Amino acid sequence: MSLRSLALLGVAVLALAGCGSPAQHADPLPSWNAGAARERLVAFVDSVTRAGSPDYVPPADRIAVFDNDGTLWVEQPMYAQLHFAVDRLKALAPEHPEWQDDAALKAAISGDFHALGASGHEGILKVIAASHAGMSTDEFDAIARAWIRDARHPKFDRPYTALVYQPMLELLAYLRSKGFKTWIVSGGGIDFMRPWTEAVYGIPPEQVLGSQVKTSYRSDGDRPQIQREPAVHFIDDQAGKPIGIQRHIGRRPILAVGNSDGDFEMLEWSSTCPGPRLAVLVHHTDAEREYAYDRESHVGRLARGLDEAAGRGWLVVDMAKDWATMFPAAR
Amino acid sequence: MSLRSLALLGVAVLALAGCGSPAQHADPLPSWNAGAARERLVAFVDSVTRAGSPDYVPPADRIAVFDNDGTLWVEQPMYAQLHFAVDRLKALAPEHPEWQDDAALKAAISGDFHALGASGHEGILKVIAASHAGMSTDEFDAIARAWIRDARHPKFDRPYTALVYQPMLELLAYLRSKGFKTWIVSGGGIDFMRPWTEAVYGIPPEQVLGSQVKTSYRSDGDRPQIQREPAVHFIDDQAGKPIGIQRHIGRRPILAVGNSDGDFEMLEWSSTCPGPRLAVLVHHTDAEREYAYDRESHVGRLARGLDEAAGRGWLVVDMAKDWATMFPAAR
């Protein structure tokens, strides 16, 4: 009997028993198919958490970092935050005729995502700066909350927060149950993610790292504010990821999970250190249930990671093969 | 019988009983004298943590931020980190004759702290950049660990880590026992503090914010490094403190503790928000057991805070009057 059959049988037995509360020894990763990926994840977690294991890692050092876009939730056909930014830009465009003189901003307002994609990460961040600035952090928080509540993904017609990967939700919860502290380290905007990461992923705001606009403190009057300025402070992508990890966490992760070459340095930084380490790349191979893309994609390009994963001992998760379920069931 | 007598009696009874394990209802703040400061701290913690309290705050939002220099440990006659920097500069000076052309660096190397103090926080950070850069984060970690282990305070002739305030150690532990997450938000260098804050304060590296040098990621070879560059990235002082809090924590603290005007904005940001809030200033009034200084001090100047504390409802702790013990007993 295969591991998968056992797991399915377990689920069936639980279902037959009408068990409402989680069983003590329930499979923590029911959406992961039996196979090398699942086995390696479980073996790694066991090796660093089991008392007496030669690879035992004390709880304080059990740092796991996850990219967000394309690793924890859908990033195609465009980043959710870009969708948010475009919605904002369109609404604000009548007050800003000068935006038509900027290639990236103009492309965003007109919905020309190919041209916008061609303007690169810098172009995208320019759009974000123009659409995300000129307000206080409290105001931005309210705007982001309202948008994420109402927006729907163009293909799946579900809220973005419903398009998180069920296997990753299980992995996050499994890691936390084993004493890991789970972090998001994303190229996305830190203040765009924080309003909902706790409810959706169980990750509190202080464990979210992301790209940041410049801010300033204003204390005129009796209600001080932190104002968001139209300039980029920090891009938490590529080499920015290990730098952000060092700044915010100050420890080297023992587990790093990403899906694109923007995560390469994060995985490299986390895995090239003495002691047990695991680096994971999620490979988008499932055009039917989600999207299939890698080397040629404008969003979430993955080439170097695929080329070097085997040589570096990184685990590549094949979404079509390794994941039994893609998204949480609709509620 | 006063509260203090009761507390002392409690200690005496425990001592007579030879009780090795902490009593369940032991006073969590034995080094705080009975009085308004202690009462207000305990009443605040009770009001935000007691089930059914109208001011109840869920654990996730129980964020407490503490300045370090002068709030958790001694900052006179000069910051420990400045002592560290001067020791480094002196050792490295023969290789850097150009340092003699810089007023702040020259003052530091020659031990002229008055001239160095006159160069201001910027001058001090210049010294820190020159003495703290040109190495990897791992190398710096090792250097800082070795120094903090061996250095001794010029007046007390004890390690700096023994010159932490016993009442503050108790307050940190008390808050954590009540579900608070405790953070350091210091003008001092983040990487200078992180090697020892967990052992000394129980505060892990990821809950330490401080000033930062620029860093770069270098991945040539199979051992990538984060290199410390000789330039300031962020000064976590004054208005930088709320900005740093927003970046690293992403929630507004409900309790903020500082001791100088460098903490003013942190206390303002934390206390001017709806809901229960407490801002605390430690006033250095004890020339006998520690130091007495405020408005005229080069280090830890406190003037605006004293002027505005009463009007803003901030608690001012009088170290001479409110603290029964200053430092942990020598071991």
B167 and B32 in contact (C-beta within 8 Å)? yes
Q: Which residues of B touch A239 (CB under 8 A)?
A: 216-217, 219
User: Contacts of residue A243 in chain B, CB cutoff 8 Å?
Assistant: 215-217, 226
CB pairs under 8 A between A and B: 83
Residue A202 backbone class (left: φ over 0; alpha: ψ -120 to 50; beta: rest): left
Find, among A222, A190, A217, A215, the residue nearest to A203 by Cα.
A190
The pTM of this model reads: 0.90
Residue ranges of domains in chain B? 3-7+27-76+160-215+225-322, 80-150
Cβ-contact A316, A283 below 8 angstroms: yes
Q: Which residue of A has its CA nearest to B238?
A: A217
Residue B114, pLDDT score: 83
Report how far residue A217's alpha carbon sits from residue B265's, in angstroms, rounded to the nearest whole number: 9
pLDDT in tens, chain B (331 residues): 343 343 333 333 333 333 344 445 789 999 999 999 999 999 999 999 999 999 999 999 999 999 999 999 999 998 999 899 999 999 899 999 999 999 999 998 988 888 887 888 778 778 877 899 989 999 999 999 999 999 999 999 999 999 999 999 999 999 999 999 999 999 999 999 999 999 999 999 999 999 999 999 999 877 899 999 988 899 999 999 999 999 999 999 999 999 999 999 999 999 998 899 999 999 999 999 999 999 999 899 999 999 999 999 999 999 999 999 999 998 6
- A28-76+160-218+225-322 homologous superfamily: HAD superfamily/HAD-like (3.40.50.1000)
Residues of A in contact with B226 (CB under 8 A): 242-243, 246, 269
* pLDDT band at residue A331 under the 50/70/90 scheme: low
Contacts with B204 from chain A: Cβ below 8 Å: 60
**Nearest CB to B205: which of A208, A217, A251?**
A251
- Contact indicator for A209, A185 with CB cutoff of 8 Å: yes
* Region of residue B257 (left: phi > 0; alpha: psi -120 to 50; beta: else): beta
Strand spans (E) along B28-180 = 63-66, 135-136
Least confident residue range of A65-69, A232-236, A256-260: A232-236
A20 pLDDT higher than 50: no
C-alpha distance from B144 to closest chain A C-alpha (Å)? 14
Q: Which residues of B touch A212 (CB under 8 A)?
A: 247
Q: CA B254 to CA B273: how far, in whole Å? A: 9
Rounded to whole angstroms, the Cα distance separating A226 from A219 reads: 9
Strands in chain B per DSSP E: 63-66, 135-136, 181-189, 208-218, 225-234, 255-258, 278-285, 292-293, 315-318
Asked if A272 lies within 8 A of B223 by C-beta distance, the reply is: yes
Helix or strand run (H / E) with residue B303: none
Q: Is A254 exposed, middle or buried (0-12, 13-18, 19+ CB in 10 A)?
A: buried
- What single-letter DSSP state applies at residue A330? P
Neighbouring C-beta atoms of residue B100, cutoff 10 Å: 12
Determine the residue of chain B that is closest to A193 in CA distance: B250
**Using CA atoms, how far apart are residues B247 and A217, in angstroms rounded to an integer?**
12
Least CB-CB distance to B217: which of A194, A226, A265? Answer: A265
Check residue B296 and give its pLDDT.
Answer: 96
Please give the C-alpha separations between residue A269 and each of A116, A175, A266, B74, B141, in angstroms, as whole numbers.
Answer: 30, 20, 5, 36, 17
If DSSP codes are grouped into helix, strand and coil, which group holds residue A208?
strand
Q: Which two tokens stand for residue A180?
A: 């890991």
- Identify which of A166, A35, A60 has the alpha carbon closest to the alpha carbon of residue A43: A35
Per-residue confidence (pLDDT) for residue B18, from 0 to 100: 37
In this prediction, residue A24 has a pLDDT band, given cuts at 50, 70 and 90, of low
Overall residue count recorded for chain A in this entry: 331
B3-7+27-76+160-215+225-322, what's its fold?
Rossmann fold (3.40.50)
